[in-house]
Amino acid sequence: MTSTLTLTSASGLPDLTGRTVIVTGAGSGIGLATAQALGAAHARVVLAVRNTAKGAAAAASIAGETVVRPLDLADLSSVRRFADEWAGPIDVLVNNAGVSSPTLQRTRDGFELQFGTNHLGPFALTNLLLPHITGRVVSLSSQAERTGRIAFDDLGLERTPYRESRVYAASKLANLLFITELQRRLTAAGSPVLAAAAHPGLVATPMTEGSGGAMTQFMVRHLAQSPEQGALPVLLAATADVPPGAFTGPQHAMHMRGGAQLIGRSKHSRDPELARRLWAVSEELTGVTFGL
């Protein structure tokens, strides 16, 4: 899919004076680059981070008003505490934080770490904050979703051998399915809130530099773009007049580098029945239901 709706520089953002944007995982990488661009556009930026000292250091590099709040998406009690303590409207929630682990690990609640952090945490956070959200929800996904498959019969990987790339791809598919069903529910509820997803491309970040095999590391070292470039699809999804349920990504190199535009997505990620099934399972696992 191609589109004339593009963003080639963060300097092209609209004036966001008076807007409040929450960015999870804003202490480094794409999250920090996103927060810096939003701050430069005069938004009030809330950095939702696991390490508040690191978050405070990051906030010092952001123009304008910033707030640092603790949030660990691998701990549902932390997610609930963040939401319980929130007051006031949220113009945009950017679900940026994510992990990729070379070994099988678990969240504090016992979920497989990648599925728990990349999907269940943001699922719970979004729904708990939804009564405050006035503009849109943006979740980071990846073109890795094209190879993702969700094993509903073994989400905790009790029987399935662990492979980092396969589990990561499944979590990124879950991100798109979440946006699909969230948008359907928002529309059905008559809400003006828009849900969108963004694929940042191949980006050199602390996460990508420490994950994957030798081939992945070679690609990151020699082909990856900067976090500032990777943030462009996120910024497009967060601020532009994109359609409901939009998926944004880089313009060039098979959507791995360059400025941002609307891009296509897999058939699986657009499957409404699969999206509803994942939503139901996510509600059961987190104890959090649709926020409106």
State how far the Cα of 136 lies from the Cα of 234, in Å rounded to an integer. Answer: 12
Q: In Å, what is the CA distance from 231 to each residue of 23, 24, 37, 65, 96?
A: 12, 13, 9, 20, 10
Sort 115 into a burial class: Cβ within 10 Å, 0-12 / 13-18 / 19+: buried
State how far the Cα of 174 lies from the Cα of 180, in Å rounded to an integer. Answer: 10
Question: Looking at the DSSP assignment, which residues form a beta bridge with residue 262?
Answer: 248
Annotated catalytic residue: which of 111, 123, 168, 279? Answer: 168
Annotated active-site residue 162? The verdict is no
State how far the Cα of 164 lies from the Cα of 102, in Å rounded to an integer. Answer: 5
Contact yes or no for 89/20 (Cβ under 8 A): yes
DSSP 255: T
State how far the Cα of 108 lies from the Cα of 117, in Å rounded to an integer. Answer: 10
State how far the Cα of 65 lies from the Cα of 103, in Å rounded to an integer. Answer: 39
DSSP 251: E
The tokens for 234 are 């996120």
- Maximum Cα interatomic distance, the chain, rounded to a whole number of Å: 51
State how far the Cα of 241 lies from the Cα of 263, in Å rounded to an integer. Answer: 15
Contact yes or no for 181/279 (Cβ under 8 A): yes
The tokens for 155 are 């989400």
Write out the catalytic residue numbers.
Answer: 168
